[in-house]
Amino acid sequence: MSDQVNRFLGDSLGRTLVKLIVVSLIVGFVMTVFGLTPWSIIDGVRDFILEIWHRGFSALGRVGDYLILGATIVIPLFVILRLFSYHR
C-alpha cells in the first residue's frame, strides 16, 4: 500500500508534504506581492463565467491569457521541485 501511495505522490509522503509547503509559501508570497487573495481569484473565475454567458464565447480568448499567466508561475516551480527531487 505504501508503495502505491509513493508512486501516486511521486515521492515519499514526507517529502511531498515539504514540497507542497514550500510551493504554498512561494505562491502565497507571490500572490501577496500582486495583491491577490483566494476570494479575488474565485470572483475572477465567477466573473469570467458570467462574461462568457453575457458576451458569448468570444471571451474564451482570455483562457489563453490565463494559461500563460499561470504557466509563468507553475512551470518554473515544477522545474525547481523536480531539480530538488532529482538529486535524491
Summarised one tens digit per residue, pLDDT across range 4-62 is 777 777 778 788 888 888 889 998 889 889 998 888 889 989 998 888 777 766 656 67
Quickly tell me which residue has 514526507 as its cell. 14
Q: Are residues 42 and 76 in the same domain?
A: yes
Q: Are residues 42 and 67 in the same domain?
A: yes
Q: Are residues 50 and 83 in the same domain?
A: yes
Query: Of 87, 63, 64, 83, nearest to 75 (Cα)?
Result: 83
Q: Which domain holds residue 54?
A: 37-87
**From residue 58, how far is each of 12, 26, 44, 64 by CA, in Å?**
44, 34, 17, 12
Q: For residues 36 and 86, what is the distance between their CA atoms, to the nearest angstrom?
A: 32
State the total domains in the chain.
Answer: 2
Q: Are residues 62 and 30 in the same domain?
A: no
The pLDDT assigned to 85 comes to 81
DSSP category for residue 14: H
Look at residue 51 and give its three-state secondary structure. helix
